[in-house]
């Protein structure tokens, strides 16, 4: 029997584990190691600060799902791996493997600039989203200027855009919009770059949104410092801010950085080929955010990164699973698909409105790319959430 250990169990890790077991059946023992027994649908965290979702609405126990499908779950923190002896060290002992899948997700670099950790809110975790909700409740009693955006080196601009338009909608609902100067700050070279070099019509659409909603914006800026009531930009402009939400950059987790034999990049990501296999250790694989992605464009005066969203994470989990099963059957031809050639499929929420984004490739060159605004309601965003939660709760990893 082949034993595969999967580190991390959200989008990429959960998919990889379920697919290896589904395709490999009794010939494959699969063990998932994760600190949390809960699966979290991270894209919906943008709604939690506004009370549109509770954490319980977008999370559920993954350990029971895995066990029903024949996958062992270990609630522990993976500390490091020795790829020569093929052993993972955890807070609950050592685990030997034949194949290792690293799908650990990111660590957030809050120290990207002074004051970001202390004075800027972050919506990328349940705790951060709930703290943001509390801060907004306090803010509406004494409204003032707001700064929303992304710092230098950030890659998750999409979520920040979504929060921007949601907070603009919330301000109108609270009848305090006229009392608030709303600012958007981004390292992108132009609005709607998204870390994918933009899409046809994207910049024009985002500019029209900013004008329509009376949002001031600054592009090609980083964050020099955040204080209790200001945001200092890399251009030295000082913006007043009584409420600040910023998306900092992601870096690799401690597990990867504590495993130098894997030769991680300076930012803690794993070098893999288009088959998501480690170049030095052929039985080590990576999927999702842990993968090092080379950008096909120059960021500009202020550095920023590319997005690592749920869809490519899910897809790379499937590719890794397929390749592990092929290798254990003695096959040498592996499935290959570069990160940038995975289709771009995303629905950007815009405050009970949405923009549907579809392209044949995430990065250029593309043969097909379209952005479709829906100013009536964010029906597609809600539908996708419901579908993915249903699919995952039932362990239907084979579905798109």
Q: Which CATH superfamily is domain 2-107+251-341 in?
A: FAD/NAD(P)-binding domain (3.50.50.60)
Q: From CA 342, how far away is CA 363, in angstroms rounded?
A: 8
Residue-wise pLDDT for 280-290, tens only, equals: 999 999 999 99
pLDDT at 316: 98
Cβ proximity of 301 and 124 under 8 Å: no
pLDDT at 105: 87
132 contacts: CB under 8 Å, gap ≥ 6: 48, 49, 121, 122, 123, 245
Q: From CA 14, how far away is CA 399, in angstroms rounded?
A: 13
Residue-wise pLDDT for 109-155, tens only, equals: 999 999 999 999 999 999 999 999 999 999 999 999 999 999 999 99
Cα–Cα nearest to 190, from 277, 301, 88? 301
Mean pLDDT of the chain: 96
How many C-beta neighbours within 10 Å does residue 330 have? Answer: 6
Query: CA angle 55-287-365, nearest 5°?
Result: 105
Sign of the Cα pseudo-torsion (169, 174, 178, 183, in order)? negative
pLDDT at 228: 97
Residue-wise pLDDT for 341-350, tens only, equals: 999 999 999 9
Residue-wise pLDDT for 98-115, tens only, equals: 999 999 989 999 999 999
Residue-wise pLDDT for 188-235, tens only, equals: 999 999 999 999 899 999 999 999 999 999 999 999 999 999 999 999
What secondary structure does DSSP assign to 245-304, as a single string?
EEE--EE--HHHHT-GGG---TTSPBP--TT-B-SS-TTEEE-GGGB----SS---SS--
By three-state DSSP, how is residue 162 classified? helix
Q: From CA 335, how far away is CA 274, in angstroms rounded?
A: 8
Whether residue 310 is predicted with pLDDT greater than 90 in this model: the reply is no
Check residues 308 and 244 and name the one with the higher pLDDT.
244
The CATH class given to the 109-249 domain equals: alpha beta
Q: How confident is the model at residue 165 (pLDDT cuts 50, 70, 90)?
A: very high
Q: From CA 93, how far away is CA 224, in angstroms rounded?
A: 43
Q: From CA 160, how far away is CA 172, in angstroms rounded?
A: 19
Residues 56-77 have a mean pLDDT of 97
pLDDT at 298: 84
Q: In residues, how long is the chain?
A: 400
The H helix count followed by the E strand count for the chain is: 9, 22
Residue-wise pLDDT for 31-55, tens only, equals: 999 999 999 999 999 999 999 999 9
pLDDT at 14: 97
Whether residue 93 is predicted with pLDDT greater than 90 in this model: the reply is yes
What secondary structure does DSSP assign to 177-236, as a single string?
GGG--EEEE-SSSSTT-TTTT--TTHHHHHHHHHHHTT-EEE-S--EEEE-SSEEEETTS
Whether residue 375 is predicted with pLDDT greater than 90 in this model: the reply is no
166 contacts: CB under 8 Å, gap ≥ 6: 46, 47, 49, 50, 349, 350, 351
For strands 59-61 and 87-90, give the pairing: unpaired
As annotated, the residues of the chain forming the CATH 3.50.50.60 domain(s) are 2-107+251-341, 109-249
Secondary structure of the chain: what % helix, strand, coil (to 5)? 35, 25, 40
Whether residue 391 is predicted with pLDDT greater than 90 in this model: the reply is yes
Check residues 376 and 118 and name the one with the higher pLDDT.
118
């Amino acid at each position: 029997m082949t034993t595969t250990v999967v580190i991390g169990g959200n989008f990429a890790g959960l998919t990889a584990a379920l697919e290896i077991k589904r395709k490999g059946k009794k010939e494959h023992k699969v063990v998932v190691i994760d600190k949390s027994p809960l699966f979290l649908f991270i894209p919906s965290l943008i709604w939690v600060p506004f009370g549109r979702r509770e954490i319980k609405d977008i999370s559920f126990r993954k350990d029971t799902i895995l066990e029903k499908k024949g996958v062992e779950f270990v609630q522990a923190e993976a500390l490091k791996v020795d790829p020569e002896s093929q052993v993972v060290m955890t807070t609950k002992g050592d685990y030997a493997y034949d194949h290792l899948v690293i799908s650990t997700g990111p660590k957030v670099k809050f120290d990207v600039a002074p004051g970001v950790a202390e004075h800027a809110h972050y919506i990328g975790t349940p705790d951060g989203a709930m703290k943001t909700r509390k801060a907004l409740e306090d803010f509406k009693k004494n409204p003032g200027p707001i700064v929303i955006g992304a710092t230098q080196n950030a890659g998750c601009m999409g979520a920040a855009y979504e929060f921007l338009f949601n907070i603009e909608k919330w301000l109108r609902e609270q009848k305090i919009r006229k009392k608030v100067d709303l600012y958007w700050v981004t390292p992108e070279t132009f609005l709607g770059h998204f870390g994918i070099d933009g899409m046809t019509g994207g910049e024009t659409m985002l500019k029209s949104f900013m004008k329509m909603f009376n949002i001031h914006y600054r592009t090609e800026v980083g964050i020099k410092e955040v204080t209790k009531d200001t945001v200092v930009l890399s251009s030295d402009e000082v913006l007043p801010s009584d409420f600040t939400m910023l998306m900092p950059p992601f870096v690799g987790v401690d597990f990867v950085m504590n495993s130098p034999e894997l030769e991680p990049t300076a930012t803690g990501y794993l070098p893999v080929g288009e088959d998501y296999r480690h170049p030095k250790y052929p039985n080590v694989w990576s999927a999702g955010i842990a993968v090092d992605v080379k950008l096909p464009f120059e960021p500009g005066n202020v550095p920023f990164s590319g997005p690592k969203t749920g869809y490519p994470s899910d897809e790379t989990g499937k590719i890794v699973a397929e390749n592990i099963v092929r290798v254990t059957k003695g096959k040498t031809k592996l499935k290959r698909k570069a990160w940038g050639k995975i289709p771009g499929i995303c629905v950007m929420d815009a405050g009970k409105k949405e923009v549907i984004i579809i392209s044949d490739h995430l990065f250029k060159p593309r043969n097909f790319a379209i952005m479709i605004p829906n100013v009536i309601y964010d029906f597609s965003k809600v539908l996708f959430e419901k579908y993915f939660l249903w699919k995952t709760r039932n362990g239907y990893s084979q579905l798109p």
